Amino acid sequence: MINLNDILLLAPESFLTLAACVLLLVDLFVKPAQRSVTHYLAIAILAATGGLVLHGPGAAGGVAFGGAHVVDGVAVVLKLFVLLCVAVVFVYARPYLRDRNLFVGEFYVLCLFGALGTLFLVSAGSLVMVYLGLELLTLSSYALVALNRDSPLSSEAAIKYFVLGALASGMLLYGMSMIYGATHTLDLARIHAVAASAEHPKLLLFGVVFVVVGIAFKFGAAPFHMWLPDVYQGSPTAVTAFIGSAPKLAAFGMAYRLLESGLGGLVAHWNEMLAVLAVLSLAIGNIAAIAQSNLKRLLAYSTISHVGFLLLGLCAGTPAGYSAAMFYAISYALMAIAAFGMILLLARAGFEAEEIDDFRGLNQRAPWHAFLMSLVMFSLAGVPPLFGFYSKLVVLKAAIEADKLWLAVTAAVFAIIGMFYYLRVVKVMYFDAPADDRPMAPGADAPARWVLSVNALALLALGVYWGPLFAWCGRVFGL
Amino acid sequence: MLANWPLLSLLIWLPIVAAVPVLAAGQARADTARWLTLLTTLAVFALSLGLLGRIDLTDPTMQIQENAVWIESLKVNYHLGVDGISVALILLTTFTSVLVVLGAWDSVEQRVHQYMAAMLMLEGLMIGVFCAMDALLFYVFFEGMLIPMFLIIGIWGGPRRVYATLKFFIYTFFGSIFMLVGLIYLYFKAGTFDLATLAQVGLSAREQAWLFFAFLLAFAVKVPMWPVHTWLPDAHVEAPTGGSVVLAAIMLKIGGYGFIRFSLPITPDASQEYAWVVIAMSLVAVVYVGYVALVQEDMKKLIAYSSIAHMGFVTLGIFVALALTRNLSNQDAARLGLQGAMVQMISHGFVSGAMFSCVGVLYDRLHTRMIKDYGGVVNVMPWFATFMVLFSMANTGLPGTSGFVGEFMVVLAAFQSNPWVAALAAFTLIIGAAYTLWLVKRVIFGDIDNPKVAKLEDINLREALVLGSFATAVLFFGIWPKPLTALMDAPIAHLVQQLVLSKA
């Protein structure tokens, strides 16, 4: 029985669906020279959706459609940051897309639909909604990766992403079907009740394994990370910036919904799997990143290692662990988007700025941007007083609190190894002479420049004053 | 009115904030950047002298405290405070910073504004380390310091600067991250990062042992102690003069300071049990590293190894004091050992800073640090030679210079603990004299072989000011160390009292 309350709770998603469709239509009538209309409209849509999430009729929270759609604090935080990330991606992407004849409405519409999928995913209250949200997000992502149709690299990445993604979705679906078979329900709250009871069927455990595999794939956690480096490198950088930021928040939301809201009673079973994934991700991500010469690929491996840290928080299996993991996901999204934003800004027609060597001597050519990039790199490496340090700190704290001291020590060791490749980027910018005399003037696009400065300086500001954000993350988990 | 100022915050943030206009001045207005930096460091030095007026020498606790909530949900506070030990090290920092800026006046030509800004940030962060009363705050300053130093060595350093600076950064980071894990563990024991509370929380022998080694790793790398010292010679050799001076004069002291603030109060029993490990490492540092210094052909490398040997005296003094309190309940000797360690830290700050400045003076003129390229410098640079000989004497621990006081106190304390330890430590005074005097003989005295040396000009007024200031400090504390020991007496007595109590 649908009532008004259900509809109101769905206000941001409904609005975004309609608005994205309208944008698709509007874009048909916009001349290529006026494509900026689409651009600004897309940002306005995201802002309006954010407003609805925060102050809309359903902002107070609740459960809609018989538990299928849950609006709680976790969902609100994740939604806001997803919308913020996508908006920032739009700002960074415009000059890049324009230089490459990719400045098309599809990019915006697909990103909006991806964001919509994320919104559903983080609010999911049943297995069906998890799957629907996820597929909406990933199908949009497949298409986005292939946005540059003429590039063989992009096409290869898209095919690879699609095939492996389909396989992972199949795994997830298979796991879900087993969970359904064991619990006779798709509702996560009712699954939670069954899983928490003492005599849960063996079949349920079997399903958990497949669900964890599906989650690991979406995160890009080792050993299910194969798609990640190729997709990051092969996609147009504007798309990489999208894939590298918002979907990580979505993956956290999905893991939280499935593992805690649904299978919370089996924490003793899945947290060991997550611990293994975390250690493997930390090891493979950090070690493989050392050998990279392409910055996008390096950031892909760095993502894998960051996912390892994030899983460390999740596998603590406590509210403190979840809030730490969410804090980590937010901080990672902000850092990743700044790093890709820098690549986007330095790129120009015929020059991708995606090799590490392209950043040589940046301090001599564009000292302000070298400074910003070094902030991002030190933050990714986790050096205080930057934001990235505190997210590592709270995750380590959660892990130690959950008696996973050895995992924390392992993570710390890999953080040292990881330090090297971030420092290498700083090294080429500050210590090396420029490779050639080409001017490395950061793109003339003023909004992108300003937003990037704010984004990178925010890493410093949040490093000095991270209390409120951390408290917010704790509050939504009842801490 | 002055009494109400948040003096410590001012000391920390004034240089960091001043770094922004210095950076904004740009290379085109390098002179503006230089003057602005000099005025800031002078102002900070003047402010730090104000600490002397406000600190109560008889009170062993932390004073001039500032406490504000930083992260409420974690109960982390922006908690600052100083005692005599901190004040001594803060004064060393502010004093040295002024001289470093003066020393780099002409010798740094590339990207002056960035160099000066990095130095200012470094100064603020180092003062922060000595003021922090919250373990997390301490860690943030402790690690944050690495960033400006990384850039200083990497941008303005010598030919192998990239290797050296990466090694420096990763080595130090490697040491300290285990301390972070240890601190988080302590946080769950005590429910806070407040250092005073951490010092009182009960810990089993096993817990203390783990924590002790986590701290040891962090601070041993920083000091640096044998066998984790290998980053230091590389960093020193490649760093620009100012970087070497800051590194030797201040950053190494943070390791010793860490032992006194963390290891001793938080893990007294483990520190006692494993004191022999540290004492052995210190003795290896003073003896073996002393011999290593003897064969160096690069002046900076020689002084770097000599720094390691001298810092060995510091760790020796600290941990001999432990053995004395617990085994022999000889508290007077324990205080002597700790006093000696602290005096040695301050003195080594002046002496090593001065020695590196001297090498910088020579390097600015001939652009080589090789001993064999020099000889007979006294003939063309008599004033410089006077200073260099004075600092070398201080480095060997000649009575009348500050170098003597600390080493003598440590050897005295060590003798009461174990005559053999004292004998080994004292033996190194001879090696120290050997490598330092041989360096002086080869560089300063003898005939001029290198025609370029014959054309050298003596130090100018600016260099004389830098070296003269160091010389004044070295002689002042050599002849009259009382102000220094009086400053640190009360907190050290208090620390020895704490050490007697077992926590397990």
How many domains in chain A? Answer: 1
Q: What residue type is assigned to position B168 of the chain? A: F
* DSSP for residue B370: B
> What is the arithmetic mean of pLDDT over A167-186?
91
B74 interaction partners in chain A (CB closer than 8 Å): 394, 397, 470
> What is the arithmetic mean of pLDDT over B21-50?
89
A167: burial class by Cβ within 10 Å (0-12, 13-18, 19+)? middle
Residue found by looking up tokens 């972070």 in the block: B180
A397 interaction partners in chain B (CB closer than 8 Å): 74, 184, 187
> What pLDDT digit, counting tens, does each position of B42-54 carry?
999 999 988 888 8
Mean pLDDT of chain B: 88
Q: Report whether pLDDT(B195) > 70.
A: yes
Yes or no, beta carbons of B184 and A393 under 8 Å apart: yes
Q: What is the ipTM of this complex?
A: 0.84
Q: What's the pLDDT score for residue B392?
A: 92
Q: What's the pLDDT score for residue B122?
A: 93
Which of B72, B144, B169 has the CB atom closest to A385's CB atom?
A: B144
Kindly identify which residue of chain A lies nearest to residue B151, measuring between CA atoms. Answer: A430
- CA–CA distances in Å: residue B61 to residues B86, B179, B462, B498: 11, 24, 40, 12
B185 interaction partners in chain A (CB closer than 8 Å): 400, 405
Separation CA A13–CA A4 (nearest Å): 15
In this prediction, residue B198 has a pLDDT band, given cuts at 50, 70 and 90, of confident
| Contact residues, chain B to chain A, C-beta under 8 Å | 69-74, 111, 114, 136, 139-140, 143-144, 146-147, 150-151, 154-155, 161-162, 165-166, 169-170, 173-174, 177-178, 180-181, 184-185, 187-188
Which of A383, A400, A427 has the CB atom closest to B188's CB atom?
A: A400
CA count, 13 A, side-chain hemisphere, A411: 34
Q: Do the beta carbons of residue B88 and residue B487 sit within 8 Å?
A: yes
Cα–Cα nearest to B393, from B465, B450, B471, B336: B471
Yes or no, beta carbons of A416 and B146 under 8 Å apart: no
Which residue of B78, B111, B143, B217 to mutate against A (max A Cβ within 10 Å)? B143
Q: What residue type is assigned to position B134 of the chain? A: D
What is the distance in angstroms between the Cα of A463 and the nearest Cα belonging to chain B? Answer: 10
CA count, 13 A, side-chain hemisphere, B479: 5
Which of A385, A413, A430 has the CB atom closest to B140's CB atom?
A: A385
Q: Report whether pLDDT(A194) > 90.
A: no
Q: What's the pLDDT score for residue B1?
A: 45
Which of A415, A423, A470 has the CB atom closest to B73's CB atom?
A: A470
Separation CA A450–CA B293 (nearest Å): 53
What is the distance in angstroms between the Cα of B170 and the nearest Cα belonging to chain A? Answer: 7
Separation CA B144–CA A176 (nearest Å): 47
A474 interaction partners in chain B (CB closer than 8 Å): 73
Range of the domain at A338: 4-475
> What is the arithmetic mean of pLDDT over B219-243?
89
Yes or no, beta carbons of A470 and B74 under 8 Å apart: yes
In this prediction, residue A418 has a pLDDT band, given cuts at 50, 70 and 90, of confident
> What is the arithmetic mean of pLDDT over B276-302?
89
What is the distance in angstroms between the Cα of B120 and the nearest Cα belonging to chain A? Answer: 16
Yes or no, beta carbons of B73 and A401 under 8 Å apart: no
Separation CA B424–CA B410 (nearest Å): 12
Percent of chain A with pLDDT over 70: 98
Q: Which helix H or strand E contains A109, and what residues bound it? A: helix A105-122
Q: Report whether pLDDT(A250) > 50.
A: yes
Mean pLDDT of chain A: 88
Kindly identify which residue of chain A lies nearest to residue B155, measuring between CA atoms. Answer: A431
What is the distance in angstroms between the Cα of A247 and the nearest Cα belonging to chain B? Answer: 28
Please state, as a whole number, how many other Cβ atoms lie within 10 Å of the Cβ of residue B371. 18
Residue found by looking up tokens 């080589």 in the block: B368
Which residue of A394, A397, A405 to mutate against B (max B Cβ within 10 Å)? A397
What is the reported pTM? Answer: 0.89
Q: Which helix H or strand E contains B48, and what residues bound it? A: helix B30-54
In this prediction, residue A440 has a pLDDT band, given cuts at 50, 70 and 90, of low
Helix A36-55 to helix A11-29 angle (10° resolution) is: 170
> What pLDDT digit, counting tens, does each position of A327-385 carry?
999 999 999 999 999 988 888 777 778 888 888 888 888 888 889 999 999 999 988 88
Which of B143, B144, B154 has the CB atom closest to A427's CB atom?
A: B154
Q: Do the beta carbons of residue A73 and residue A85 sit within 8 Å?
A: no
End-to-end Cα, chain B, rounded Å: 46
In this prediction, residue A441 has a pLDDT band, given cuts at 50, 70 and 90, of low
3-state secondary structure of B348: helix
Q: Could you tell me the sign of the dihedral formed by the alpha carbons of A274, A280, A283, A287, in that order?
A: negative
B150 interaction partners in chain A (CB closer than 8 Å): 423, 426
Separation CA B83–CA B92 (nearest Å): 14
Q: What's the pLDDT score for residue B55?
A: 84
| Chain A, chain B: beta-carbon pairs less than 8 Å apart | 85
- Between A251 and B157, residue with greater pLDDT: A251
Separation CA A381–CA A383 (nearest Å): 6
> What is the arithmetic mean of pLDDT over B203-227?
89
Separation CA A421–CA A292 (nearest Å): 9
Q: Which residues contact B254 (CB under 8 A, 6 or more apart)?
A: B126, B129, B130, B142, B145, B222
Phi, psi for residue A23 in degrees, rounded to 5? -60, -40
Which residue of A376, A416, A470 to mutate against B (max B Cβ within 10 Å)? A416
Q: Report whether pLDDT(A257) > 80.
A: yes
| Token pair in block for residue B134 | 């919250």
Q: Which residues contact A24 (CB under 8 A, 6 or more apart)?
A: A105, A109
Q: What's the pLDDT score for residue A438?
A: 64
| Token pair in block for residue A353 | 């700025």
Q: Report whether pLDDT(A230) > 80.
A: yes
Q: What residue type is assigned to position A269 of the chain? A: H
> What pLDDT digit, counting tens, does each position of A58-103 carry?
777 788 888 888 888 899 999 999 999 999 999 999 888 888 888 8
CA count, 13 A, side-chain hemisphere, A322: 27
In this prediction, residue B178 has a pLDDT band, given cuts at 50, 70 and 90, of confident
> What pLDDT digit, counting tens, does each position of B410-458 carry?
888 888 888 888 888 888 788 888 999 999 988 888 888 888 888 888 8
